[in-house]
Amino acid sequence: VNGDSLELLRDAGVRVTPQRRAILDAILGAGAAHPSADEILREARRRLPELSRGTVYNTLAEFVRVGFLQTVETGGAVRYDRNLDEDHQHFRCRSCGRLFDVEVVGQESLDPRLTPGFAVERTRIVLEGRCPDCRPSDHERKE
């Protein structure tokens, strides 16, 4: 994983620093979990305890600028997404708060009733409910 973050930074022309590597490693380690800045800070500090919150926020902004990440806002804390596909949407578990990537078929044919003067720039759909980990099992539901 360390090799990956080094290569990613170099390929993007971003100067490699221990801080940037620790933050990027924390993001890569989170997989598809869409971590918040605080979650990234906590994880990155395990690698680099002196890391400051300001550095993490500045670095995340830079990573968004160079195209490592996009931000996802679903009402809670801003989350960071390694999946840069503009058309993917999210399912938010109302119990554990995690975000999951989801492809929504037919989103191109949405027909919002907008009054004249509005221009849609992108569509963000957030589905809410319970993830498999948080849903009561079939067994529990029968009781």
Structural element, H or E, at residue 23: helix 18-29
The only residue of 30, 101, 104, 126 in contact with Zn ion, by rule CB under 5 A: 101
96 C-beta neighbours (distance < 10 Å), count: 10
Contact status, residue 83 vs residue 101, Cβ threshold 8 Å: yes
Question: Of the listed pieces 12-20, 61-69, 88-96, 102-110, which binds Zn ion according to CB under 5 A?
Answer: 88-96
How many amino acids of this chain bind Zn ion (CB under 5 A)? 9
The only residue of 52, 83, 107, 123 in contact with Zn ion, by rule CB under 5 A: 83
The only residue of 96, 110, 125, 127 in contact with Zn ion, by rule CB under 5 A: 96
Alpha helices in 30-88 (DSSP H): 37-47, 53-66
Distance from the first to the final alpha carbon of the chain: 45
The only residue of 61, 110, 127, 134 in contact with Zn ion, by rule CB under 5 A: 134
| The residue to which tokens 């840069």 are assigned | 84
Residue 25 touches Zn ion, criterion: CB under 5 A = no
Residues in the site for Zn ion, rule: CB under 5 A?
81, 83, 93, 95-96, 101, 131, 133-134
